[in-house]
Structure 1
Amino acid sequence: MNTKEKILVTALELFNEQGIDVITIRHIAKEMGISHSNIQYYFKNADDIIYTLYTQHIAAMNELPVFASSPGAGLGTLRESITTILQHIYRYRFIYIHFVVITRRMPEIKKVYAQRFGIRRRQLLRLFENYREQGIVREDIPVEVWESLIRSIYLIGDFWISSNELTTGLKGKKAVNYYARLLEDLFYPYLTEKGKQLAAS
């Protein structure tokens, strides 16, 4: 691991533990046992580190094999996708705790977020269509209701970290599993009897 990578790893750990309103380049340097000028050789300030961590996070998210819509993809695909995404979000949880503040400070991140929403929306709509063809979800659900479900998925997916901080206080795998189940439960009213049987298995 080179110095730049060590800076990012240390910053991620400190931001997750203490937040972006507390941690500065000097804190990161002290934790690493180097001068803050050494960090400024790679990053001009803490926001530069935050932006790099965000782009690193999104690049990794884009590589995740989630919401596959290949023929025959069942509810297990959905369950695995949700868990995989939440695990990755938990690793970069400071971003989601401070997301509104971060996007105000770095408006370009808001644009990336909007683009990602469009990609995930299309993936989910294809997955729902696949489920309809398999008889897993009901055929009488209007498109606008599926769109609302996608919005609900995003609301929980983006803000469960804050909810966990304020209410449940779960850590690691327990937090991921708890909120993954909340997201899975959103789909229950849309399932056919066949879908409910598959969900219970």
Structure 2
Amino acid sequence: MNTKDKILITALRLFNEQGIDVITIRHIAKEMEISHSNIQYYFPNADEIITALYTRHIDELNALPPLENGSIASLQESIAGILQHIYQYRFIYIHFVVIARRIPAVKKVYSQRFLARRTQLLQVFEHFRQQGLMRNDIPAAVWESLIRSIYIIGDFWISANELTTGLKGKKAVGYYAEMIGDMVYPYLTEKGKK
């Protein structure tokens, strides 16, 4: 593993454990037992490290199997996979508003990603309606609201977990994946519920 990857792995662990408001390049250097200037050769400041981690996170999310027009169960599995990946990069979501304000490129990528995922979910839900798994009597605005609600929970469950439930790892992922599943339940037909 090269030095740049070691820096990112160490930074990810420290940011997840202590947050971006505590961890600096000097902390990362001390943890790695290398010089501060060695890290600055690769990343001039902590925001560059955060940007690199966010880019890696998004690339890894994009490499996950896409939301497909399969079954309700496959949608649940996809959501759980996404939440598991978010948990691995949880510092981003705990500090997301601060990061997006400090690093406009992160906000831009997030906005683009939201639009792409919105389109995917609309297509998945349309497929489910055609298959008789989801109801046809729901107005378009309500579908939009459901998608936005899924994203609000999907992107900010980490903060809620830190403040209220305090679950770790798979327990946290399972709890919030089930919560998103519960949001979809009222939109299912009897066939879809089975």
Equivalent position of 1:150 in the other structure: 147
Equivalent position of 1:98 in the other structure: 95
- Aligned partner of 1:86 among 83, 88, 110: 83
Tell me by how many angstroms 1:156 deviates.
Answer: 0.2
Q: Percent identity?
A: 72
Cα distance in 1, alignment partners of residues 101 and 139 from structure 2: 35
Is 1:50 aligned with 2:75? no
Instruction: Give, as a single letter, the amino acid of the residue that structure 1 aligns with 2:91.
Output: F
Q: SS at the partner of 2:133? A: coil
Deviates more, 1:174-183 or 1:58-67: 58-67
Equivalent position of 2:63 in the other structure: 63
- TM-score by structure 2 length? 0.99
Q: SS at the partner of 2:22? A: coil
CA RMSD of superposed structures (Å): 0.6
Instruction: Give, as a single letter, the amino acid of the residue that structure 1 aligns with 2:28.
Output: I
Cα distance in 2, alignment partners of residues 74 and 55 from structure 1: 30
Is 1:120 aligned with 2:151? no
Cα distance in 2, alignment partners of residues 137 and 84 from structure 1: 22
- TM-score by structure 1 length? 0.95
Tell me by how many angstroms 1:108 deviates.
Answer: 1.4
Equivalent position of 1:110 in the other structure: 107
Is 1:38 aligned with 2:38? yes
Cα distance in 2, alignment partners of residues 45 and 134 from structure 1: 51
Paired residues, what number? 194
Equivalent position of 1:140 in the other structure: 137
Instruction: Give, as a single letter, the amino acid of the residue that structure 2 aligns with 1:42.
Output: Y
Note the residue ranges of structure 2 that are not aligned, 5 or more in a row. none
Could you list the per-position Cα deviations for residues 91-150 of structure 1 after superposition, in whole angstroms to 9, with x for gaps in the alignment? Answer: 000000000000110111111111000110010001001101110001111111100000
Q: SS at the partner of 2:42? A: coil
Tell me by how many angstroms 1:67 deviates.
Answer: 1.1
Cα distance in 1, alignment partners of residues 36 and 174 from structure 2: 38
Equivalent position of 2:20 in the other structure: 20
Instruction: Give, as a single letter, the amino acid of the residue that structure 1 aligns with 2:74.
Output: T
Tell me by how many angstroms 1:16 deviates.
Answer: 0.1
Tell me by how many angstroms 1:66 deviates.
Answer: 2.9
Q: SS at the partner of 1:66? A: coil
Note the residue ranges of structure 1 that are not aligned, 5 or more in a row. none
Deviates more, 1:60-69 or 1:126-135: 60-69
Q: Runs ≥4 in structure 1, deviation > 4 angstroms?
A: none
Instruction: Give, as a single letter, the amino acid of the residue that structure 2 aligns with 1:64.
Output: L
Cα distance in 2, alignment partners of residues 8 and 66 from structure 1: 26
Tell me by how many angstroms 1:46 deviates.
Answer: 0.6
Cα distance in 2, alignment partners of residues 139 and 182 from structure 1: 23
Cα distance in 1, alignment partners of residues 103 and 46 from structure 2: 12
Equivalent position of 1:75 in the other structure: 72
